[in-house]
């Protein structure tokens, strides 16, 4: 039997799995829940295409698209509880969406007005991490803190807390990620390592990082690992949910490998035609995470045309909001780097800031064009 | 021969080094089929094969650490770090292992490794893609650090660094990879690798720069010339060792010096150069040596990086100040 955990086939058929099942939770209507997941995925896709277009129009410096990874991100994102904490890479726009982050706040990093536009404490969604793999250690340490605060295994669903770290297949090669596995195992920390194996690390295929399926590595570190169909939102939700619950129950770390595919480029500056076969892309299009949920809902009469029309209108509105809002994102003051470098500015830096401020105002008087 | 960009010149330099010495290997993330994120290694894997142009796993400590082993085995690895901010996962290998192997082995072991780092800002990138880590390496005994600023130097300096028996941190101004071309005449051989160069002669103030700021300083000298001021621009080229003689000669003539770099000023290259000038030609100085650099803050977000980076105006402002003394 295949290791891949699947609950909804690419054709939109529900299938059973001996260990995992899609459970929307008490009092939640299943069809309603699935429509909600579809809505999230559709809006995330729109968010992503809109941002890609904004980059093409020069409004963003660069963008890391999530096209094809909507199910992995929305499944994991919706399985979180309010008190859980997320440590993302730079591509987790779908998880950010599920955490209620304003899409405009997601754009600011890529536009270059900010290094992270949201409040990590209020949202439980930490800042994007660009240095590959570094956040897996932060997540593990955070989980060690949660443990020390007595917030695992209390049995109170509003208190027990899990931490999730997102990373890619390429990241699995980094020392930091392997060290995170060691620490998490050693302290039995309440952390879920959620790897989106999208097959590529820029131009390098999965085989360059590992000879065995990634989820199997967990065993070597002493905790369970699962491989889930990353294009199946019911399965990613179910597996993430179980892994997060294990963490909240105080049973320690889990590695989840969401097996998916990066349909677009690595970033808007990348050219995948230099290394990737177009047949592969065509093959993966047939596994589109959105199409299969739509097929399931339609076939079973669980959704109406009006519902889709409303969703499309909502997506259009999101697009408009992003286009208008992106342009209006304010540039920071040139003095902000000085004020933000430390909690308590140093006397030296204060002097440097004041001299620079005087220089800038002198320039404005003398030759306005040089301040751009 | 041909007119090429810095990116192409580096590519040709690598190609020639690989042709001349079968022990030369190129290693890094995406250097193979993609040709590197900046295409510096474009086409090399096709011509030299996967054993000589090695697409590595995504792990900088792993890349440099295995380069150490390959060098110990007689190879000459040329390592590509994708962006300046990603050299830090390899920092331990570079400063604790690469830098010290020769002295630890009392000269019995050599590590002819070149670590290529695209450095500097001004490309509108996100975090960690615009840093200037040169002082961290120049501060480390056992490493040599050079920075090219134009296609001709890129072509020759890279080959010389590869042929050199000590580990060399090789800094490439990424902002200039594709901006501007120069004539590459292979018949005209290189000057010495560890030597600075007068990029423009002048008599009023000496500007000291390297990598991306050479262009800024030359533009500042052009602008100053329209006001009848003559600035001498010295491209340092080598940061460790520093080649101070041409610098001191120049400052003895002009009596005034400004060091310009993108890196933070606190304990940066400018501090070292200013100290050496003060020690060696104190009596020739008409003004203190000034520094124009990145401020002592983390590199800012892209929309304000142009304020943070030294530009022509800030250089000219410093020139005014040394002349006004
Ligand atoms: C330490 C470090 N080295 C190199 C890079 C440049 N880089 C950015 S993304 C990337 C590939 C990442 O692949 P993967 O971990 O599979 O994540 P994906 O982007 O495919 O989701 C590389 C090499 C980086 N950001 N950090």
Give the gyration radius of chain B's Cα atoms. Answer: 19
Calculate mean pLDDT across residues B188-203. Answer: 96
- What integer pLDDT is reported at residue A144 of this predicted model? 98
Please state whether the peptide bond connecting residue B92 to the residue before it is cis, i.e. omega within 30 degrees of 0: no
- What integer pLDDT is reported at residue A338 of this predicted model? 98
Q: What is the pLDDT of residues A96-133, one digit of tens each?
A: 999 999 999 999 999 999 999 899 999 999 999 999 99
Q: Tell me whether A204 touches chain B (CB under 8 Å).
A: yes
- What integer pLDDT is reported at residue A363 of this predicted model? 81
**Is B311–A370 a contact, with Cβ atoms under 8 angstroms apart?**
yes
Q: Is A32 exposed, middle or buried (0-12, 13-18, 19+ CB in 10 A)?
A: exposed
- The SS3 of residue A334 is coil
Instruction: Check pLDDT > 60 for residue A371.
Output: no
- What integer pLDDT is reported at residue B2 of this predicted model? 85
Q: Which CATH superfamily is domain A4-328 in?
A: Thiamin diphosphate (ThDP)-binding fold, Pyr/PP domains (3.40.50.970)
Q: Give exposure, B52-66, as e/b (b: 16+ Cβ within 10 Å).
A: bbbbbbbbbbbbbbb
Question: According to DSSP H, which parts of A114-216 are helical?
Answer: 120-123, 134-148, 175-187
Partners of residue B144 on adjacent β-strands: B168
Q: Tokens 């010295």: give the residue.
A: B234
State how far the Cα of B148 lies from the Cα of B161, in Å rounded to an integer.
11
- What integer pLDDT is reported at residue A365 of this predicted model? 61
- How far the first Cα of chain A sits from its last, in Å, is 63
Taking CA A108 as the corner, what is the angle to CA A106 and CA A114, rounded to the nearest 5 degrees? 120
Half-sphere exposure of B28 (CA within 13 A, CB side): 29
DSSP B93: I
Cβ–ligand 1 distance for A182 under 6 Å, the answer no
Residues in chain B closer than 8 A to A334 (CB atoms): 300, 304, 307-308
State how far the Cα of B307 lies from the Cα of B304, in Å rounded to an integer.
5
At the top level of CATH, the class of B197-324 is: alpha beta
- What integer pLDDT is reported at residue A372 of this predicted model? 29
Residues in chain B closer than 8 A to A332 (CB atoms): 300-301, 303-304
CA-nearest of B40, B129, B30, B36 to B87 is: B129
Cα(A166) to centroid(ligand 1), Å: 12
Q: What is the complex's ipTM, to 2 decimals?
A: 0.94
Q: What is the pLDDT of residues B221-244, one digit of tens each?
A: 999 999 999 999 999 999 999 999
- What integer pLDDT is reported at residue A369 of this predicted model? 43
pLDDT tier at A1 (50, 70, 90 boundaries)? low
Tokens for B161?
């660094």
Catalytic residue among B128, B129, B139, B164: B129
Q: Tell me whether A370 touches chain B (CB under 8 Å).
A: yes
Calculate mean pLDDT across residues B188-215. Answer: 97
User: Which residues are within 8 A (CB) of A161 and not within 5 positions of it... i.e. 6 or more apart?
Assistant: A81, A83, A84, A85, A146, A151, A152, A190, A248
Q: What is the pLDDT of residues B58-95, one digit of tens each?
A: 999 999 999 999 999 999 999 999 999 999 999 999 99
- The SS3 of residue A153 is coil
φ, ψ at B150 (rounded to 5°) = -155, 165
Task: Report A:254-273 residues touching B (Cβ under 8 A).
Answer: 269
Of A268-272, A277-281, B240-244, B315-319, the least confident? A277-281
- Closest residue in A to B301 (Cα) is A112
Residue nearest to atom 17 of ligand 1 (CA): A168
User: Which residues are within 8 A (CB) of B159 and not within 5 positions of it... i.e. 6 or more apart?
Assistant: B13, B16, B17, B190
Residues in chain B closer than 8 A to A337 (CB atoms): 295, 297-298, 300, 304, 308
- What integer pLDDT is reported at residue A103 of this predicted model? 96
Calculate mean pLDDT across residues A259-282. Answer: 93
The percent of residues above 70 in pLDDT, for chain A, comes to 98
Domain boundaries, chain B: 2-184, 197-324
User: Which residues are within 8 A (CB) of A43 and not within 5 positions of it... i.e. 6 or more apart?
Assistant: A97, A311, A314, A315, A318
Cα(A321) to centroid(ligand 1), Å: 30
Specify the ligand 1 atom closest to the Cα of A266. Answer: 19
Q: Tell me whether A209 touches chain B (CB under 8 Å).
A: yes
State how far Cα A104 lies from the chain centre.
16
Cβ–ligand 1 distance for B62 under 6 Å, the answer no
CA torsion A232-A235-A237-A242 (nearest 10°) is -160
Q: What is the pLDDT of residues A45-103, one digit of tens each?
A: 999 999 999 999 999 999 999 999 999 999 999 999 999 999 999 999 999 999 999 99
- What integer pLDDT is reported at residue B241 of this predicted model? 98
Q: What is the pLDDT of residues B254-288, one digit of tens each?
A: 999 999 999 999 999 999 999 999 999 999 999 99
Cα(A132) to centroid(ligand 1), Å: 5
State how far the Cα of B39 lies from the Cα of B41, in Å rounded to an integer.
5
Partners of residue A229 on adjacent β-strands: A259
- What integer pLDDT is reported at residue B185 of this predicted model? 86
Calculate mean pLDDT across residues A260-276. Answer: 94
- What integer pLDDT is reported at residue B188 of this predicted model? 84
DSSP H or E segment with residue A49: helix A30-56
Instruction: Say yes or no: do domains B2-184 and B197-324 share a fold.
Output: yes
φ, ψ at B198 (rounded to 5°) = -80, 110
Specify the ligand 1 atom closest to the Cα of A172. Answer: 15
- What integer pLDDT is reported at residue A117 of this predicted model? 87
Instruction: Check pLDDT > 90 for residue A139.
Output: yes
DSSP H or E segment with residue B270: helix B269-281
Q: What is the pLDDT of residues A325-357, one digit of tens each?
A: 999 999 999 999 999 999 999 999 999 999 999
Computed over every residue of chain A, the mean pLDDT equals 96
Say if domain B2-184 classifies as CATH 3.40.50.970: yes
* CATH 3.40.50.970 residue spans of chain A: 4-328
Instruction: Check pLDDT > 60 for residue A296.
Output: yes
CA-nearest of A21, A73, A16, A27 to A47 is: A73
- Closest residue in B to A357 (Cα) is B307
Cβ–ligand 1 distance for B29 under 6 Å, the answer yes
- What integer pLDDT is reported at residue A366 of this predicted model? 53
Instruction: Check pLDDT > 90 for residue B209.
Output: yes
CA-nearest of A121, A140, A131 to A187 is: A140
State how far the Cα of A185 lies from the Cα of B10, in Å rounded to an integer.
45
A215 in Cβ contact with A230 (< 8 Å):
no
């Amino acid at each position: 039997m295949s290791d891949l955990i699947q609950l909804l086939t690419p054709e939109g058929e529900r299938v059973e799995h001996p260990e995992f099942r899609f459970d929307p939770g008490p009092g939640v209507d299943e069809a309603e829940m699935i429509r909600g997941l579809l809505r999230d995925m559709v809006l995330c896709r729109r968010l992503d295409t809109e941002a890609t277009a904004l980059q093409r129009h020069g409004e963003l410096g660069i963008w890391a698209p999530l096209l094809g990874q909507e199910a992995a991100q929305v499944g994991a994102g919706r399985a979180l509880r309010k008190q859980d904490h997320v440590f993302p890479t730079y591509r987790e726009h779908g998880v950010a969406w599920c955490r209620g982050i304003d899409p405009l706040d997601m754009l600011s990093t890529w536009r270059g007005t900010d290094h992270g536009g949201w409040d990590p404490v209020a949202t439980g969604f930490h800042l994007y991490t660009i240095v590959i793999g570094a956040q897996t250690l932060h997540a593990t340490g955070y989980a060690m803190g949660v443990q020390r605060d007595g917030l695992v295994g209390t049995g109170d669903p509003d208190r027990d807390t899990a931490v999730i770290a997102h990373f890619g297949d390429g990241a699995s090669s980094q020392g930091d990620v392997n060290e995170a596995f060691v620490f998490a195992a050693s302290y039995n920390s309440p952390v879920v390592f959620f790897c989106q194996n999208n097959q590529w690390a820029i131009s390098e295929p999965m085989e360059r990082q590992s000879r065995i399926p990634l989820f199997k590595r967990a065993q070597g570190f002493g905790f369970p690992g699962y491989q889930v169909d990353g294009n199946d939102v019911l399965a990613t939700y179910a597996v993430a949910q179980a892994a997060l619950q294990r963490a909240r129950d105080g049973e320690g770390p889990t590695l989840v490998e969401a097996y998916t595919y990066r349909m677009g480029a690595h970033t808007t500056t990348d050219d995948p035609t230099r290394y990737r076969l177009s047949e592969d892309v065509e093959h993966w299009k047939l596994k589109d995470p959105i199409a299969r949920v739509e097929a399931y809902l339609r076939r079973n009469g669980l959704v109406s045309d009006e519902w889709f029309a409303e969703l499309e209108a909502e997506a259009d509105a999101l697009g408009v909001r992003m286009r208008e809002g992106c342009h209006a994102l304010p540039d920071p003051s040139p003095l902000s780097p000085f004020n933000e470098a430390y909690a308590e500015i140093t006397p030296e830096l204060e002097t440097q800031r004041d001299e620079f401020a005087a220089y800038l105002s002198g320039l404005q008087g003398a030759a306005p064009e040089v301040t751009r | 021969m041909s007119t090429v960009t810095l990116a192409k010149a580096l590519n040709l330099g690598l190609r020639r080094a690989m042709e001349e010495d079968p022990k030369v290997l190129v290693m890094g993330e995406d250097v193979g089929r993609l040709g590197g994120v900046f295409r510096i290694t474009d086409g090399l894997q096709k011509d030299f094969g996967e054993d000589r142009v090695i697409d590595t796993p995504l792990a900088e400590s792993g890349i440099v650490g295995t380069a150490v082993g390959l060098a110990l085995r007689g190879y000459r690895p040329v390592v590509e770090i994708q962006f300046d901010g990603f050299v830090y996962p390899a920092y331990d290998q570079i400063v604790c292992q690469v830098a010290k192997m020769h002295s630890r082995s009392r000269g019995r072991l050599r590590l002819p490794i070149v670590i290529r780092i695209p450095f500097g800002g001004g490309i509108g990138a996100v975090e960690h893609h615009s840093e200037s880590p040169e002082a961290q390496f120049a501060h480390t005994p056992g490493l040599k650090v050079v920075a090219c600023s134009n296609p001709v130097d890129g072509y020759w300096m890279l080959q010389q660094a590869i042929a050199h028996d000590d580990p060399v941190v090789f800094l490439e101004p990424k902002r200039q990879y594709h901006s501007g071309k120069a004539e590459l005449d292979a018949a005209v051989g290189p000057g010495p690798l560890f030597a600075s160069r007068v990029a423009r002669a002048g008599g009023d103030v000496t500007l000291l720069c390297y990598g991306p700021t050479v262009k800024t300083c030359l533009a500042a000298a052009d602008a100053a010339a329209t006001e009848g001021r003559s600035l001498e621009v010295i491209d340092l080229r080598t940061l460790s060792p520093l080649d101070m003689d041409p610098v001191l000669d120049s400052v003895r003539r002009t009596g005034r010096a400004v060091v310009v770099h993108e890196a933070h000023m606190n304990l940066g290259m400018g501090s070292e150069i200013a100290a050496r000038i003060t020690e060696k030609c104190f009596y020739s100085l008409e003004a203190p040596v000034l520094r124009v650099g990145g401020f002592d803050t983390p590199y800012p977000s892209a929309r304000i990086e142009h304020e943070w980076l030294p530009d022509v105006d800030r250089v000219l402002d410093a020139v005014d100040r040394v002349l006004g003394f």
